[in-house]
Amino acid sequence: MKDIIEAITSRSSKRKFLPKPVSKEIQEKILHAASMTPSGANMQPWVVYAISKKEVLDKIGNTIISHIEAGGEVDQFIQYYPLKWKNPYKIRRITTGVGLYEKMGVDRKDKEKRQELWYDNYRWFGAQTVFFIFTDKNLIDGAQGALIDCGAYMQNIMLAAQAFGIDSCPQGSTTEYGRIIAKVLETPDNLALLYSVVLGYEDNSAIQNSYQPARVALDEVVTFID
């Protein structure tokens, strides 16, 4: 079992996984650990679909890719990214993207290749388990607290996974097609998809898995008032 600081600092998003399943036992251990995430008034606003059935993952991914290929718009419950990117976030986003494409030897101007790489999101990067996290629409109707709680839940899923030797990638790429995913899964009407987390065993030989984007210095984001 990894020390907590080691789990936090050694985690990074993986984008190629081995075709090796994550056992139900480990999935349950991860979900048990994540269930201890604190939430306002102990709301526990997360609702999880833990999917390992290949046909279902294929159906979700293929439906999204076909929708995009047909020129379909995003079809989402929540808007994750800012509508207008401004600095310093714009430059951080570009730097991170450029770094990944450079590592993979992909020309940033090669739109086709970039699109193909983006589609890997909907092929779950080759992993066999994806957790889809929903919340109740009522909780986010004019309030944002449940989003904070579900964000903490996301990190605890990834850290618990890390502790059990399971790698992960959080996905906002599914947030954008949340309504399509809800339709495929026939989830109850009150649920809104927030994000997904891909879980599996990283492919160590994949160059993209060695990418660890840098973080800004503490003094850029922290104000100490001593």
Ligand X SMILES: Cc1cc2nc3c(=O)[nH]c(=O)nc-3n(C[C@H](O)[C@H](O)[C@H](O)COP(=O)(O)O)c2cc1C
Contact residues for ligand X (CB under 6 A)?
12-13, 15, 96, 121, 169-173, 195, 212-213
Cβ-proximal residues to 124 (8 Å cutoff; 6+ apart), any chain: 17, 57, 61, 130, 198
Q: Which of 87, 125, 117, 82 is nearest to 100 (CA)?
A: 117
Comparing CA positions, the residue from 180, 179, 173, 212 lying closest to residue 196 is 173
Q: Is 134 exposed, middle or buried (0-12, 13-18, 19+ CB in 10 A)?
A: buried
- Least Å distance, CB 34 to ligand X, is 15
Smallest gap from Cβ 13 to ligand X, in A, equals 4
User: Which of 177, 223, 170 has the alpha carbon at shortest distance from 199?
Assistant: 170
Comparison of 6 and 28: residue with beta carbon closer to ligand X: 6
Asked whether 38 and 105 are in contact (CB, 8 A), the reply is no
Distance in Å, CB of 32 to ligand X, minimum: 22
> By the 8 A CB rule, do 17 and 167 touch?
yes
Residue 45 DSSP SS3? coil
Q: Of 13 and 162, which CB lies nearer to ligand X in the complex structure?
A: 13
Nearer to ligand X, 52 or 121 (CB): 121
Give whichever of 23 and 144 is closer to ligand X, judged by the CB atom. Answer: 144
| Closer Cβ to ligand X, 147 or 185, answer by number | 147
Taking the C-alpha atoms of residue 102 and residue 27, their distance in angstroms, rounded to an integer, is 34
Question: In the complex with ligand X, which residue's Cβ is closer, 129 or 171?
Answer: 171
Least distance between ligand X and beta carbon 81 (Å): 9
CB of 25 to ligand X, least distance (A): 26
Contact indicator for 146, 205 with CB cutoff of 8 Å: no
199 forms bridges with which residues in the sheet?
129, 168
Residue 226 Cβ, how far from ligand X at the closest point, in Å?
A: 29
Residue with Cβ nearer ligand X (24 or 108): 108
Shortest CB 56 distance to ligand X, Å: 19
